Structure 1
Amino acid sequence: MEEIGIATLSLLIANGIVTYKGLHDFTFFDNFSFNVDQILVNKDSKRLVASGFLHADWTRFAFNMITLYLFSRGLESSMGIPSFLILYFTSLIGGNLFALYIHRNHPDYTAIGASGAVSGLVFASIGLFPGMEIGFILLPIYIPAWLYGIAYVLYSIYGIKSQRDNIGHEAHLGGGIVGLLVAIMLNPSILTTNSLALSLILFPSLTFLFLVIKKPHLLIVENPFSRSKKVFTMEEKYNSNKASKQTELDTILDKINMKGYDKLTKKEKDKLKELSK
């Protein structure tokens, strides 16, 4: 049994610390979670990475970390730490960017979790280790990794189209595709040694990406919670956000004029400092 690598251990610890902090501090959780408007309107790009270390509960954290642990051992030892970390973070960011594109007109869409990064590790393993088999927890069943990859892609596409659950299929699929592409870039020889499996996985994935970008009307990619809402342009979102901040500032300034600065609460003073930047 391979020992856990330093990069894997560091990621496990970082995920644990950030998740613990987020579950006990809502402000921290809110400041670092994936949020469409915060990223597109307020240019808060750190959320593309930070949200991947937050989890909604310890069950989801455990599932992601167990998967990270199981798939990272072979990858880190065979790829080396720098390439492994490149794979992890490009999958994380790639998955979130795909989710951002899918939900760009859904201002209230939020997400968290390491699933995009973990999916990248899983798909990279499928590409790099063609003979690998994947089992299921509590079930003595093993299937070829490439078959699992195909099923995963098709399920993710269905999940994105149907939007019937609370799972971030977009980040899963985006992270998985990016992870597989990074594995190919770092080890091009797998294009010949594992060409059939790669083709079966990449063809539906890239076809779906093409349709999402070029012909989205054919897919009806929509969030059911946002269908009744007006779709705002980026300029409208920016102006609305700016007006909201101005209203907050005016309210605080009015209180200062009427009662003086010393009558402000600590929260109001902090907000005044933030809005005055």
Structure 2
Amino acid sequence: MMDLSLATIVIIAANVIITYKALGDYSFFERYKFNVGSIRRGEQIRMFSSGFLHVNTMHLVFNMFTLFFFADVVIDALGTLNFIIVYIISLILGNLLSLYFHKDEYYYSAVGASGAVTGILYAAILIRPDMSLYMFFVPVPIPAYLFGIGYLLYSIYGMKKQIGNIGHDAHFGGAIGGYVVTLLLLPQLIETNLLMVLLLAVPIIILFVMHKTGKL
């Protein structure tokens, strides 16, 4: 049985309480969701508050389920305070990347903890690239580092093709947050597992190159 840390419990509880408040109060949802036009008019709180709103119960459960599985890996390696720092910075960077790519789309809106959760996921993979992940639709375990690289490459594809009603850019920004903050907090990873550090940086470099060359 996996033990939930107090920090994980508090984050999950905050997401559940705020999401259900918003689902029952349309004006609350509209006031605190990520919206480019509102943020550019000065409502910066949306950069943070939107990370605790979800469009429905399934969206909420999926994010919290993912957080549940990877939080302890990050907490064990970095400590509770640094885990919270990774979570918050990933949330903000996810929304900053969304704002950057959609800065001229004043109508663009989004909600969800996906950026923050992806940051924790990518931090966990960086810390424990040897983990095996089991996906619902794949009957064999997948090495964590392959999953991380594949996930971000798919996010780039999703951003380019605008696939689904999914904030691929927020996922990617969150992953960058998890990657960078974890390396700042555990720089010894560069010495002990340089190959994995470089491999997990590949999608980030690809995104940067595609953007600079106008292919994104």
Band of TM-score, shorter chain: over 0.9
Moved over 4 A (4+): none
Q: C-alpha distance in 2, partners of 1:16/1:181?
A: 28
Aligned to 1:233: none
What is the 5 A alignment of 1:135-214?
135-137=134-136, 139-212=138-211, 214=212
Aligned to 2:23: 23
Q: C-alpha distance in 2, partners of 1:67/1:96?
A: 19
Shift of residue 73 of structure 1?
1.7
Partners of 1:130 and 1:194 within 8 A in 2? no
Q: Which amino acid aligns with 1:33?
A: K
Higher RCO, Cα 8 Å, sep 6+: 2
Q: Which amino acid aligns with 1:144?
A: P
Q: Which amino acid aligns with 2:215?
A: L
Q: Which amino acid aligns with 2:192?
A: T
Aligned to 2:54: 55
Shift of residue 193 of structure 1?
2.2
Q: Which amino acid aligns with 1:201?
A: L
RMSD (Å), alpha carbons: 1.4
Partners of 2:126 and 2:200 within 8 A in 1? no
How far does the alpha carbon of each residue in 1:116-150 deviate from its partner, in whole angstroms, 9 at most, with x for none?
A: 00000110011111211111137542111110011
Q: Identify if the C-alpha distance between structure 1 residues 98 and 32 changes in structure 2 by more than 3 Å, giving closer, same or farther.
A: same
Q: Identify if the C-alpha distance between structure 1 residues 7 and 59 changes in structure 2 by more than 3 Å, giving closer, same or farther.
A: same
Q: Kindly name which structure, 1 or 2, has the bigger radius of gyration based on alpha carbons.
A: 1
Other structure's SS at 2:134 match: strand
TM-score by length of 2: 0.95
Say if 2:37 is the partner of 1:37: yes
Aligned to 2:112: 113
Structure 2 unmatched ranges of 5 or more: none
Partners of 1:153 and 1:201 within 8 A in 2? no
Other structure's SS at 2:141 match: strand
Q: Which amino acid aligns with 1:218?
A: K
How far does the alpha carbon of each residue in 1:191-218 deviate from its partner, in whole angstroms, 9 at most, with x for none?
A: 1222222212212313313542x34x33
How far does the alpha carbon of each residue in 1:29-59 deviate from its partner, in whole angstroms, 9 at most, with x for none?
A: 000000001111x211111110000000000
Q: Which amino acid aligns with 2:145?
A: W
Partners of 1:7 and 1:76 within 8 A in 2? no
Q: C-alpha distance in 2, partners of 1:7/1:47?
A: 22
Other structure's SS at 1:7 match: helix
Shift of residue 74 of structure 1?
2.2
Other structure's SS at 1:136 match: coil
Q: Which amino acid aligns with 1:105?
A: D
Aligned to 1:237: none
What is the 5 A alignment of 1:116-131?
116-131=115-130
Q: Which amino acid aligns with 1:20?
A: Y
Partners of 1:87 and 1:120 within 8 A in 2? yes
TM-score by length of 1: 0.75
Shift of residue 189 of structure 1?
1.0
* Number of residue pairs the alignment of both structures matches: 216
